[in-house]
């Protein structure tokens, strides 16, 4: 109704100069008119310009003054010419006030009038007797209030005085002047949110108008699945290994015997890693069914008394210990099986890698889980040196964004020399340990049947560590396991490892 | 890895200089140990008592907690650690440990009774003469025993050490295994006599000792060592007798190691005597003890002989990957406490005879010698030797990663032609002639006039030809467009673009907007306010191929990288598409 009036008026007129006037002329509620103007302005049908007007509004008290005269005049007039006792004055005033006023209002008028009349020195008080001090008073306050009510200009001093008596207050009136907008039409077309088939079929698309789209908000979230961040990283690292000429080892065997997990790696049977508080030993199936006997014999000998240039550990090697089943503590158990298999034929150089689950009987905390993923790479060839190991590590780690490396001597039962790998962390401004590496000991390789001049250089690290560094995760449980927040997995960006 | 706590000032005094923490950490790193923590004794006590808020006072002695390799038992005390570092720094020669020359008759004897084979069959012994203890040395002596017990001794199961004031006892000694009730003595720190079975009960309440009881508990016989007067020296591996306890005043120390593993017993004994023989009157000299068995077997302990190994120089240089002159190799070997005698073999090859001191039980093989040379040379000084490997093509690998992400949110890949007609990239898209396009000189048909400058026509043609496909149709393509480029030798360059389209009963404008958000999310780019150059925002646009008011530019790090919107109905009509479509095209090279 109001919208049609506005658009209709503008069809024949330049503008609506004042919405306040317009609302009175057309008999439309001004608030309703304002809403219509705002909406039309939003769609560009009209251009609305703000009009702001200040208006003095009379308080209820002031309105009673307009009607009955100001309180001070009422008081003055209530005082008889001969004067009266102050105690009686209130009753006189109240009796002169119109009967339709309630007693509270009458009391208020009395109080205010008394104070003001005294202040004006119209009346005086002596020995509890009130008397007029002037002969005649003019009700200027009433006159001023009437002028203000009529919208006439009043001096600033008077306004100030009335404001202080809280008889008037300022009200800001808002309205608009309205002109045709760029999208003006005598009648508004229906606004839609999306283009639909009907618009095309009925050729309505030229006439439709779209609701304003908020580009400050996001679009409708996509639906679909997401891959786990850890496996996204895994995929990239696999790609890196392939580019470096490494072949993946089959690692789908979590249950392993102590023999392949430890003994074959020249890890002595009293080694702390073989304690039950580091390794999950199995109740069922508790022992391995078979081991390659000739190889076992060579492993036993190398532990007990050495050979291949080694002193050995000089202890009684026990078959029962080797038979004990466990959940593999490292994927090096798989590497060992692969190297043993390799040694059974004529020697060919190999580069192997794996990325898979390993198990440790550890207390779970921010940086440790009872299971995690191990990344392992190894090169088996003739004439390999520590220089080669450094070279391959620099190549590998620079591809995962860790190009500043240094190496620390370390001890590991199955590698010698052993090098702990440290990377400089730009964020933490310090060197952090990221993995281990070394050359497999002859005591590990020779009993397998590998030729004397064949070396194996190898390195290992967890998949979780670089992933946590990469995505800024400081609690491993936020990355891996059932406590992971699914929305985190969904929000996870693509992994660009290997693309630098 | 085991951790050794040593007073910093005492360590520096032993090293003959002081270090800043950084310098010391660097030295540790090169040598293969690690400064794990810097603390004070009082801080440790405060931590134990949870009094961390207490202010540390200035005069507290600084303690370095140093992690040492698990096979270097000679580094488990201040004496060994400082000695190894001094030799590493070239300050000291390798000490020569000697076994005192004494005639068999005057040698102390330990006789082993056959019953011990049931429970703990081995014992090795030695004597340190004329030892000067002070409080620090004494504490270090006790601490070393604790650390050996924890590590190589596997919590006393394999080896247990007993140390005694030799002047309170009298040899020959006997190592026996007796019924618990028959063993009676006053143990260390107690004042009354206990029988061994009584003692086992008593120690069940002892926090420190109860964890060792299982080693002999339940056995019909317990191991015990007596002197000539039947004074109990010890009840291994549980406790020593009070009678022979060593004190600060002790001058002559008798050490016995009982074991189930003779190799480890010898290593432990050697570690004890080599470390503390430096405080003997005759420095680095140890007095031997003869161990005899009832069956006639006997040996003299300790065995401080050097283990000899022949190492060709070429073995070392090949394994490390550096060429080293013989004299330099010898110096490096010496720094790691290995004596090296240079010789030339028959084949005229340089070779070394390596003598491994009794402190270096970790040297099992030539590869261990090679590691030591590499450490002394410096791991980080070894030149890198690289293997041939290949690098991925960044743009293509990256495109593949994006393609997977778009597919996983439900868009099907299309692969359209590079060539198209010139009107398909101009008038049919409501656009003026595309002056940036590469124009084919001899097209067989109008379909091959130009090389595409946008993925839009290919995608729209796909929709136009799949009218019968159930709606919505959600497709995408990642591919190259070509535009004229003066900077290129041939005058034109490829640009990698991503385009996606939604077509259905509604245009799916908000869905395409959502896809834009998703692409930005997988790029790891935050949504920011307009004007902010740290992420991306959307800014309404006015392109002719899109419907007015329903289109926007994508601003990524301050740069326009693409546009999305409802495809203009006229354009849809041009491509014979009856259903509304929304489309996005992004320049993905900007993400690299």
User: DSSP secondary structure string, B294-308?
Assistant: TTS-EEEE---PPEE
Strands (E), B381-535: 412-413, 419-420, 450-451, 473-484, 492-503
Can you tell me the mean pLDDT for A454-463?
96
* B149, B324, B369, B385: best to mutate for the A interface, most A CBs within 10 A: B385
* pLDDT for residue B459 is more than 70: yes
Decide if A355 contacts A237 (C-beta within 8 A): yes
Provide the 10 A C-beta neighbour count for residue A146. Answer: 15
Can you tell me the mean pLDDT for A476-497?
89
* pLDDT for residue B43 is more than 80: no
* Model confidence band, residue A103 (pLDDT cutoffs 50, 70, 90): confident
Residues from chain A contacting residue B387 (CB–CB below 8 Å): 244-245, 379, 388, 391-392, 395
Render pLDDT for B201-214 as a digit per residue (tens, 0 to 9): 999 999 999 999 99
Can you tell me the mean pLDDT for A10-37?
86
Minimal C-alpha gap between A279 and chain B (Å): 16
Can you tell me the mean pLDDT for B366-392?
95
Nearest to A417 among B370, B380, B386 (CB): B370
Dist. CA B429–CA B546, nearest whole Å: 9
B29 touches chain A (CB under 8 A): yes
Cα diameter, chain A: 141
* A42, A182, A213: best to mutate for the B interface, most B CBs within 10 A: A213
Q: Do B505 and A197 touch (CB under 8 A)?
A: yes
Render pLDDT for A363-379 as a digit per residue (tens, 0 to 9): 888 888 999 999 999 99
Q: What is the pLDDT of residue B56?
A: 60
Pick the residue from chain B with its C-alpha nearest to A316: B261
Can you tell me the mean pLDDT for A261-286?
92
Q: Do A195 and B34 touch (CB under 8 A)?
A: no
Q: What is the pLDDT of residue A150?
A: 82
* pLDDT for residue B55 is more than 70: no
Render pLDDT for B226-269 as a digit per residue (tens, 0 to 9): 999 999 999 999 999 999 999 999 999 999 999 999 999 999 99
Pick the residue from chain B with its C-alpha nearest to A494: B522
Dist. CA B230–CA B253, nearest whole Å: 19
Decide if A429 contacts B353 (C-beta within 8 A): no
Burial zone of A217 (CB within 10 Å; 0-12 exposed, 13-18 middle, 19+ buried): exposed
Q: Compute CA A212 distance to the chain's CA centroid, rounded to the nearest angstrom.
A: 27
Least confident of A126-135, A306-315, B14-23, B478-487: A126-135
Q: Do A215 and B365 touch (CB under 8 A)?
A: no
Dist. CA A497–CA A469, nearest whole Å: 12
Residues from chain B contacting residue A439 (CB–CB below 8 Å): 319, 367
Helix (H, G, I), strand (E, B) or coil at A382: strand
Measured in Å, how far apart are chain A's first and last C-alpha atoms?
65
Q: What is the pLDDT of residue B338?
A: 94
Decide if B199 contacts B240 (C-beta within 8 A): no
B467 touches chain A (CB under 8 A): no
φ/ψ (deg, to 5) at A279: -130, 140
Nearest to A499 among B379, B394, B523 (CB): B394
Q: Do A221 and B517 touch (CB under 8 A)?
A: yes
Residue recorded with tokens 């100030």: A160
Both tokens of residue A24?
């009175």
Measured in Å, how far apart are chain B's first and last C-alpha atoms?
43
* Model confidence band, residue A427 (pLDDT cutoffs 50, 70, 90): confident
Residue B357 CA: distances (Å) to CA of B74, B267, B284, B308, B331: 11, 11, 12, 9, 16
A364 touches chain B (CB under 8 A): no
Dist. CA B307–CA B490, nearest whole Å: 73
Dist. CA A436–CA A410, nearest whole Å: 9
Q: What is the pLDDT of residue A331?
A: 97
Can you tell me the mean pLDDT for B92-115?
92
B439 touches chain A (CB under 8 A): no
* pLDDT for residue B462 is more than 90: yes
Q: What is the pLDDT of residue B461?
A: 96
Q: Do A314 and B390 touch (CB under 8 A)?
A: no
* Model confidence band, residue A450 (pLDDT cutoffs 50, 70, 90): very high
Provide the 10 A C-beta neighbour count for residue B433. Answer: 10
Decide if A112 contacts A71 (C-beta within 8 A): yes
Strands (E), B428-509: 450-451, 473-484, 492-503
Minimal C-alpha gap between A246 and chain B (Å): 10
Residues from chain A contacting residue B512 (CB–CB below 8 Å): 219
Q: Do B552 and A215 touch (CB under 8 A)?
A: yes
Going by C-alpha positions, the residue among A315, A290, A321, A293 that lies closest to residue A302 is: A315
- Chain A, residues 429-468, CB within 8 A of chain B, namely 439, 441-443, 455
B397 touches chain A (CB under 8 A): yes
Render pLDDT for B405-433 as a digit per residue (tens, 0 to 9): 999 999 999 999 999 999 999 999 999 99
Decide if B439 contacts B484 (C-beta within 8 A): no
* DSSP symbol at B279: G
Dist. CA A466–CA B539, nearest whole Å: 37
Residue A198 CA: distances (Å) to CA of A195, A448, B26, B250, B472: 8, 77, 76, 106, 16
Q: What is the pLDDT of residue B51?
A: 65
Average pLDDT over chain B reads 93
Residues from chain A contacting residue B391 (CB–CB below 8 Å): 243
A407 touches chain B (CB under 8 A): yes
* B319, B507, B588: best to mutate for the A interface, most A CBs within 10 A: B319
Q: What is the pLDDT of residue A131?
A: 82
Q: Do B402 and A494 touch (CB under 8 A)?
A: yes
Helix (H, G, I), strand (E, B) or coil at A13: coil
Can you tell me the mean pLDDT for B171-183?
93
Can you tell me the mean pLDDT for A255-261?
97
Nearest to B374 among A194, A212, A417 (CB): A417
Decide if A338 contacts A352 (C-beta within 8 A): yes
Both tokens of residue A456?
């194996």
* pLDDT for residue B525 is more than 90: yes
* pLDDT for residue B583 is more than 80: yes
Dist. CA B309–CA B315, nearest whole Å: 13
Going by C-alpha positions, the residue among B458, B452, B424 that lies closest to residue B440 is: B452
* pLDDT for residue A98 is more than 80: no
Dist. CA A78–CA A97, nearest whole Å: 10
B147 touches chain A (CB under 8 A): no
Q: Do B31 and A409 touch (CB under 8 A)?
A: yes
* pLDDT for residue B402 is more than 70: yes
Burial zone of A239 (CB within 10 Å; 0-12 exposed, 13-18 middle, 19+ buried): middle
Residues from chain B contacting residue A243 (CB–CB below 8 Å): 389-392
Nearest to A391 among B364, B386, B509 (CB): B386
Helix (H, G, I), strand (E, B) or coil at B439: strand
Going by C-alpha positions, the residue among A378, A408, A315 that lies closest to residue B364 is: A315
* Model confidence band, residue B515 (pLDDT cutoffs 50, 70, 90): very high
- A206 Cβ partners below 8 Å, 6+ apart? none
Q: Do A195 and B158 touch (CB under 8 A)?
A: no
Q: What is the pLDDT of residue A185?
A: 81
Dist. CA A393–CA A391, nearest whole Å: 5
Both tokens of residue A305?
């008394």
A199 touches chain B (CB under 8 A): yes
Render pLDDT for A280-312 as a digit per residue (tens, 0 to 9): 999 999 999 999 999 999 999 999 999 999 999
Where do the H-state alpha helices sit in A120-249? 140-149, 156-164, 197-201, 229-243
A228 touches chain B (CB under 8 A): no
Q: What is the ipTM of this complex?
A: 0.89
* A222, A226, A403: best to mutate for the B interface, most B CBs within 10 A: A222
Q: Do A409 and B375 touch (CB under 8 A)?
A: yes
* pLDDT for residue B52 is more than 70: no
What is the DSSP code string of A96-143?
A: HS-TTS-HHHHHHHHHHHHHHHHHTTSEEEETTEEEESSS----HHHH
* Model confidence band, residue A13 (pLDDT cutoffs 50, 70, 90): confident
List beta partners, residue A461: A375
Dist. CA B318–CA A384, nearest whole Å: 8
Decide if A422 contacts A405 (C-beta within 8 A): yes
Q: What is the pLDDT of residue A173?
A: 83
Residue B241 CA: distances (Å) to CA of A194, A475, B168, B219: 94, 50, 11, 20
A221 touches chain B (CB under 8 A): yes
Nearest to B32 among A239, A270, A409 (CB): A409
Dist. CA B20–CA A396, nearest whole Å: 34
Q: What is the pLDDT of residue B278?
A: 92
Instruction: Give the CA count within 13 Å in the CB-facing half-sphere of B77.
Output: 25
Residue A213 CA: distances (Å) to CA of A36, B510, B521, B551, B570: 20, 10, 21, 9, 21
- A195 Cβ partners below 8 Å, 6+ apart? A205, A208, B506, B507, B509, B547, B550, B566, B569, B580
* Model confidence band, residue B463 (pLDDT cutoffs 50, 70, 90): very high
Q: What is the pLDDT of residue A162?
A: 85
Where do the H-state alpha helices sit in A60-102? 60-68, 71-78, 86-96
- B224 Cβ partners below 8 Å, 6+ apart? B175, B176, B177, B178, B183, B196, B232, B234, B235, B236
Q: Is the dihedral of CA A100, A103, A107, A112 positive or negative?
A: negative
Q: What angle do CA A48, A51, A55 make, to 5 degrees?
A: 155
* pLDDT for residue B369 is more than 70: yes
Render pLDDT for A178-212 as a digit per residue (tens, 0 to 9): 888 888 888 777 778 888 998 888 888 887 878 88
* Model confidence band, residue B57 (pLDDT cutoffs 50, 70, 90): low
Taking CB atoms within 8 Å and a gap of at least 24, the contacts of B228-235 are: B228/B170, B228/B171, B228/B172, B228/B173, B229/B169, B229/B170, B231/B168, B231/B169, B231/B185, B232/B183, B232/B184, B232/B185, B233/B162, B233/B164, B233/B169, B233/B173, B234/B162, B234/B164, B234/B258, B235/B183, B235/B185, B235/B187, B235/B196, B235/B199
Dist. CA B131–CA B142, nearest whole Å: 14
Provide the 10 A C-beta neighbour count for residue B499. Answer: 24
* Model confidence band, residue A147 (pLDDT cutoffs 50, 70, 90): confident
* pLDDT for residue B61 is more than 90: no
């Amino acid at each position: 109704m109001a919208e049609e009036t506005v658009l209709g008026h503008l069809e024949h007129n330049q503008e609506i100069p004042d919405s306040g006037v317009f609302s009175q002329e057309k008999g439309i509620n001004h608030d309703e008119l304002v809403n219509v103007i705002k909406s039309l302005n939003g769609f560009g049908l009209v251009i609305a310009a703000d009009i702001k007007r200040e208006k003095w509004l009379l308080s209820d008290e002031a309105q009673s003054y307009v009607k009955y005269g100001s309180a001070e005049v009422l008081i003055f007039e209530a005082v008889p010419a001969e004067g009266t006792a102050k105690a009686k004055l209130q009753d006189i005033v109240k009796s002169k006030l119109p009967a339709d006023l309630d007693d509270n209002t009458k009391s208020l008028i009395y109080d205010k009038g008394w104070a003001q009349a005294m202040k004006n020195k119209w009346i005086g008080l002596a020995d509890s007797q009130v008397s007029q001090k002037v002969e005649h008073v003019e009700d200027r306050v009433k006159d001023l209030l009437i002028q203000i009510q009529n919208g006439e200009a009043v001096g600033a001093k008077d306004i100030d005085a009335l404001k202080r008596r809280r008889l008037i207050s300022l009200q800001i009136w808002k309205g608009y002047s309205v002109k045709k907008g760029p999208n003006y039409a005598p009648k508004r077309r229906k606004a839609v949110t999306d283009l639909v088939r009907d618009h095309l079929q009925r050729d309505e698309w030229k006439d439709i108008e779209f609701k304003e789209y908020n580009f400050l908000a996001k679009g409708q979230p996509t639906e679909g699945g997401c891959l786990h961040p850890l496996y996204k990283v895994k995929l990239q690292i696999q790609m890196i290994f392939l580019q470096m000429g490494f072949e993946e080892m089959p690692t789908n065997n979590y249950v392993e015997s102590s023999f392949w997990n430890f003994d074959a790696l020249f890890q002595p049977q009293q080694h702390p890693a073989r304690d039950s508080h580091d390794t999950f030993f199995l109740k069922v199936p508790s022992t391995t069914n078979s081991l390659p006997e000739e190889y076992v014999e060579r492993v036993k000998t190398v532990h007990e008394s050495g050979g291949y240039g080694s002193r050995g550990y000089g202890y009684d090697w026990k078959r029962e210990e080797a038979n004990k089943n466990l959940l593999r503590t490292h994927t090096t158990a798989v590497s060992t099986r692969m190297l043993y298999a390799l040694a059974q034929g004529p020697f060919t150089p190999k580069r192997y890698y794996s990325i898979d689950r390993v198990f440790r009987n550890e207390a779970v905390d921010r940086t440790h889980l009872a299971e995690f993923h191990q990344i392992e790479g190894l090169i088996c060839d003739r004439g390999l040196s520590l220089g080669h190991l450094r070279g391959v590590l620099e190549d590998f780690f620079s591809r995962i964004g860790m190009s500043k490396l240094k190496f620390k001597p370390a001890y590991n039962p199955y590698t010698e020399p052993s090098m702990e790998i440290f990377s400089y962390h730009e964020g933490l401004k310090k060197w952090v340990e990221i993995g281990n590496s070394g050359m497999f000991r002859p005591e590990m390789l020779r009993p397998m049947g590998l030729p004397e001049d064949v070396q194996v250089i190898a390195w290992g690290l967890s998949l979780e560590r670089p992933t946590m560094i990469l995505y800024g995760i400081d609690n491993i449980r936020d990355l891996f396991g059932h406590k992971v927040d699914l929305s985190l997995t969904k929000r996870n960006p693509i992994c660009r490892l290997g693309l630098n | 890895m085991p951790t050794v706590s040593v007073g910093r000032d005492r360590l520096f005094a032993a090293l003959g200089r002081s270090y800043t923490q950084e310098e010391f950490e660097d030295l540790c790193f090169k040598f293969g140990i690690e400064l794990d923590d810097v603390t004070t004794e009082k801080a440790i006590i405060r931590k134990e008592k949870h009094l961390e808020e207490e202010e540390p006072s200035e005069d507290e002695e600084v303690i370095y907690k140093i992690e040492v390799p698990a096979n270097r038992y000679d580094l488990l005390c201040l004496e060994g650690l400082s000695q190894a570092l001094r030799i590493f720094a070239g300050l000291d020669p390798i000490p020569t440990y000697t076994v005192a020359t004494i005639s068999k008759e005057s040698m102390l004897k330990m006789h082993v009774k056959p019953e011990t084979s049931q429970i703990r069959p081995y014992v090795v012994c030695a004597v340190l003469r004329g030892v000067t203890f002070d409080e620090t040395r004494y504490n270090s002596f006790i601490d070393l025993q604790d650390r050996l017990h924890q590590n190589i001794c596997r919590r006393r199961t394999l080896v247990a050490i007993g140390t005694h004031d030799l002047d309170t006892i009298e040899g020959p000694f006997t190592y026996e295994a007796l019924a618990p009730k028959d063993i009676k003595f006053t143990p260390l720190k107690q004042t009354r006599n206990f029988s061994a079975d009584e003692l086992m009960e008593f120690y069940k309440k002892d926090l420190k000792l109860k964890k060792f009881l299982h080693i002999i508990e339940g056995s019909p016989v317990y191991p015990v060592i007596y002197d000539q007067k039947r004074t109990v020296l010890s009840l291994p591996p549980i406790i020593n007798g009070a009678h022979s306890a060593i004190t600060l005043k002790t001058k002559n120390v008798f050490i016995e190691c009982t074991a189930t593993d003779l190799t480890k017993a010898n290593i432990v004994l050697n570690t004890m005597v080599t470390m503390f023989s430096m405080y003997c009157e005759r420095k680095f000299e140890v007095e031997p003890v003869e161990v005899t068995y009832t069956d006639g077997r006997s040996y003299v302990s300790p065995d401080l002989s050097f283990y000899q190994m022949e190492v060709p120089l070429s073995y070392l240089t090949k394994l490390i990957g550096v060429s080293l002159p013989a004299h330099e190799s010898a110096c490096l070997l010496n720094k790691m406490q290995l004596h090296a005698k240079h010789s030339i073999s028959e084949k005229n090859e340089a070779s070394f005879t390596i003598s491994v001191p009794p402190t270096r039980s970790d040297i099992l093989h030539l590869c261990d010698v090679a590691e030591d040379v590499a450490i002394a040379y410096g791991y980080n000084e070894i030149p890198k030797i690289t293997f041939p490997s290949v690098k991925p093509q960044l743009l293509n690998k990256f495109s593949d990663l994006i393609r997977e992400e778009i597919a996983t949110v439900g868009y099907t890949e299309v692969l359209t032609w590079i060539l198209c007609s010139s009107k398909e990239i101009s008038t049919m898209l409501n656009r003026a002639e595309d002056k940036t396009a590469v124009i084919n000189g001899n097209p067989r048909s109008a379909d091959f006039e130009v090389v595409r400058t946008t993925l839009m026509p290919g995608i729209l043609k796909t929709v136009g030809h799949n009218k019968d496909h159930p709606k919505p149709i959600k497709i995408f393509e990642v591919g190259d467009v070509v535009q004229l480029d003066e900077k290129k030798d041939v005058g034109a360059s490829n640009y990698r673009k991503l385009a996606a389209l939604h077509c259905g009963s509604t245009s799916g404008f908000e869905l395409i907007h959502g896809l834009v958000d998703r692409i930005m999310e997988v790029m790891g780019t935050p949504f920011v306010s307009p004007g902010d150059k740290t992420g991306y925002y959307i800014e309404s646009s006015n392109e002719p191929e899109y419907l007015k008011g329903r289109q926007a530019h994508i601003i990524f790090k301050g740069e326009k990288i693409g546009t999305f919107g409802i495809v203009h109905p006229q354009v849809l009509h041009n491509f014979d598409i009856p259903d509304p479509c929304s489309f996005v095209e992004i320049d993905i090279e900007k993400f690299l």
